[in-house]
Structure 1
């Protein structure tokens, strides 16, 4: 692959601002397993290999099963996700693909029922943030380092 700029060295203040969002999200009420499902699903949709590899590792360190991680690709057909996870995954899909149809009232209301206002807002911010990271990583062709 051709060399592309590295945001961290070219615009460190912007990356620091993104890390500020991550710091905020680290203190939210979103369960860690749900955060990783959001990050993995959005990264799959966006074709971000860097983030898929990174967040799959984190999810497995948190004892997430490889079977569920693979099933994310077809979560709507999979029996492995509960109603709360399904609501969050629907939000993730629709916000990640927001130009297609926006965020439907049905998904928004289901998210509200399953999460409440504060957790819904936090999950939406998590979705927005991983989408920003995906775009940075894909645009600059970031590669995940392997041990």
Structure 2
């Protein structure tokens, strides 16, 4: 795959602000393990190889079990995810692929049983952020692994 353009170079101020948002989210109410699962699942749904590669490596560095990463594509059938994680994954999917008539009440109610209002708001921003990154990286055909050294992902030893 050949990268179309480097939006980091073309829009440095915007990228910097988007990175600032991501850094704020890291200090938010959603635990790192759920943010990792959300990022991987949204990237799978959006077909973003760059983000999928990056977030699998991050999850590995953060100690996520390899089998759980493999099960993400079939999380509904897997027994490896807790109810809070399942709710986060359902929320990720519905916001990534917005239904024609919006988010169904049953999904919202299910997620609300696992997350406080602030957590749900923070989780929504996590989903918004990864979907934004996915769209930019897919649009410009960012090459998976091309920023590993810069982002410290070479430490995952998954090459």
Normalising by structure 1, report the TM-score. 0.94
Give the Cα–Cα distance (whole angstroms) in 1 for the partners of residues 37 and 101 of structure 2.
22
Give the Cα–Cα distance (whole angstroms) in 2 for the partners of residues 24 and 70 of structure 1.
28
What is the CA-CA distance between 1:68 and the residue it aligns to? 0.4
CA-based RMSD of the aligned residues comes to: 1.3
What is the CA-CA distance between 1:102 and the residue it aligns to? 2.6
Asked whether the 8 Å contact 1:91–1:111 carries over to 2, the reply is: yes
Partner of 1:8: 8
Determine which structure has greater relative contact order: mean sequence separation of CA pairs < 8 Å that are 6+ residues apart, divided by chain length: 2
Asked whether the 8 Å contact 1:94–1:101 carries over to 2, the reply is: no
- After alignment, is 135-144 or 99-108 more displaced? 99-108
Give the Cα–Cα distance (whole angstroms) in 2 for the partners of residues 93 and 44 of structure 1.
10
Give the Cα–Cα distance (whole angstroms) in 1 for the partners of residues 96 and 67 of structure 2.
23
Partner of 1:67: 67
Question: Which deviations, in whole Å up to 9, do the C-alpha atoms of 1:41-81 show, x marking residues without a partner?
Answer: 00000000111111101111111111100100000111111
| Unmatched segments (≥5 aa) in structure 1 | none
| Unmatched segments (≥5 aa) in structure 2 | 149-153, 155-159
- How has the CA–CA distance of structure 1 residues 110 and 16 changed in structure 2, closer, same or farther, with 3 Å as cutoff? same
Number of residue-to-residue matches in the alignment? 147
Normalising by structure 2, report the TM-score. 0.87
